[in-house]
Amino acid sequence: MKFFVDTAEVEAIAELHALGMVDGVTTNPSLILKSGRDILEVTKEICSIVPGPVSAEVVATKSEDMIAEGRKLAAIAPNIAVKVPLTWDGLKTCKVLSGEGFMVNVTLCFSVNQALIAAKAGATFISPFVGRLDDINMDGMELIGDIRTVYDNYDFKTEILAASIRTVNHVTQCALIGADVITAPPNVIKSLASHPLTDKGLDQFLKDWAKTGQKIV
């Protein structure tokens, strides 16, 4: 399973990338706002750090304008995946840009039918939002499983990029179901290393080691 990091914070991306944890990056307009950076500038910097797909989102709503924005974003670097919302205009944009050879990430997916139609429009990635479905008392993980089944039934090549991942349990469930990619904020990725029994065990080892009075170096 590939790990994408869901942030536009360059330092956090670089830290995780140094450990081999970053197969790609996803950004969105809210994350660009949070970074306080210019979208073209920060996206270029991210692409210089991470060789894998870096999603940059269009903000127009009409397909002609979305296509123009997508081409401009794609010109930043060869590893840009143009992110488009799952609207009819977004699907038109997906069809055109994927036909031109660009990677396209279709985002804001909340149903199997949306995932199905995005695959038919040539999406490289489909981004179902797990956490936002959980927020409204629906089962985000059930959606990931259903999309997996449908894509496998028809051998669609579109990759399932499980998004809006908020907890380490979401990551476990996505790995068990067979999502191709998860995108999560840096703190969630770092939390994957944590376990209370690891902390407790290490604490005991260090206390016992101190009693030996020895040094290794």
Q: Does 183 bind ligand E4P (CB under 6 A)?
A: yes
**Residue closer to ligand E4P (CB basis): 14 or 110:** 110
Q: Which residue of the set 83, 120, 190, 215 is catalytic?
A: 83
CB atoms inside a 10 Å sphere around CB 176 = 11
SS3 113: helix
Q: Which is nearer to ligand E4P, 76 or 184 (CB)?
A: 184
User: What is the per-residue DSSP string for 150-217?
Assistant: HHHHHT---EEEEBS--SHHHHHHHHHHT-SEEEE-HHHHHHTT--HHHHHHHHHHHHHHHHHT----
| Among residues 35, 131, 178, 190, the one that binds ligand E4P under rule CB under 6 A | 131
Q: Which tokens in the block code for residue 87? A: 């609207």
Site string for ligand E4P, 93-122 (x = CB under 6 A): --------------x---------------
Q: Distance (Å, rounded) from C-alpha 63 to C-alpha 55?
A: 18
Q: How far apart are CA 121 and CA 92, in angstroms?
A: 7
Q: Among 168, 175, 90, 78, which Cα is nearest to 126's? A: 90
Question: 109, 126, 163, 171: which one contacts ligand E4P (CB under 6 A)?
Answer: 163
**CB of 148 vs ligand E4P, minimal distance in Å:** 18
Stretch that binds ligand E4P, among 41-49, 65-73, 126-134, 207-215 (CB under 6 A): 126-134
Which two tokens mark 126? 């489909």
Stretch that binds ligand E4P, among 15-23, 129-137, 174-182, 196-204 (CB under 6 A): 129-137
Compare residues 74 and 109 and give the one whose CB is closer to ligand E4P: 109
- State yes or no: is 83 an active-site residue: yes
3-state secondary structure of 100: coil
Among 28, 63, 93, 114, binds ligand E4P (CB under 6 A): 28
Q: Which residues are marked as active site? A: 83
Contact residues for ligand E4P, defined by CB under 6 A: 6, 26, 28, 107, 127, 129, 131-132, 163-164, 166, 183
